[in-house]
Amino acid sequence: MKPLKPRSTGQRTPVRGRTGLADALFSATQQRVLALLFGQPERSFFTNELIGLVGAGSGAVQREIRRLVESGLVTVTRLGSQKHYQANPAAPIFQELCGIVIKTLGPAEVLRAALVPLGDQIRLALVYGSVASHSDTAHSDIDLLLVSDVLTLEQVYTVLTPVEQQLGRRVSPTLYSVAEFRRRRTSNNPFLTKVLVGETIRLTEGRDDLPTAG
């Protein structure tokens, strides 16, 4: 006799999207609050400033701030009628939390700062892939697209090595000249088209229409 097969219930398990590192650790509001306070630990923020920058409801932001203050992770100082909040460098996990915030919430900012000395040598710099779409995991590379008529890949790797050490993650750059970028854009190159229609984080100022130019 053939073994009976279990009868299908007609219900399928829903396929869920990949969970990014930051989403696995913190809620959306927590991510924004922590990114501000521990991504810029030398700076203090007053209440309304945090609420405006986070872009969430004032009640949700104030609850997160209150929890951070009560735990000792954040200090509060009253200046006149306003309360100013700042990451507490005396907290026992201050350095670790700053590192977690940088690695999970701020890789684009670290890259942006690293590219500043190159100035006008870079026409366009975009983070794309899983980091841009917030679906990265602990093993995900940081995908970077650069457009420059001056830089070589060797120079790019030299700049990116300290970034990789700071973030503990590999940065994978793709470098095009302006002419090559325009040619690939005009010919609807599959790779470049996929990058540009997907989610990206622009690291350079919008000096021209290069991303959409034919």
Model confidence band, residue 39 (pLDDT cutoffs 50, 70, 90)? confident
What is the SS3 assignment for 17? Answer: coil
Q: For residue range 133-156, what is the model confidence (pLDDT) as tens digits?
A: 878 877 789 999 999 999 999 999
pLDDT of residue 54: 81
Report CA-CA distances (Å) from 65 to 30, 71, 92, 118, 180.
9, 10, 18, 37, 48
CA 180 to mean position of chain CA atoms: 27
Rama region for 123: left / alpha / beta (φ>0; ψ in -120 to 50; rest): alpha
Q: How many residues does the chain have?
A: 214
Reported as a single tens digit per residue, the pLDDT across 56-89 is 788 999 999 999 999 999 999 998 888 999 999 9
pTM exceeds 0.85, yes or no: no
Encoding tokens for residue 40? 């810029």
Within a 13 Å sphere around the CA of 10, how many CA atoms are in the beta-carbon half? 0
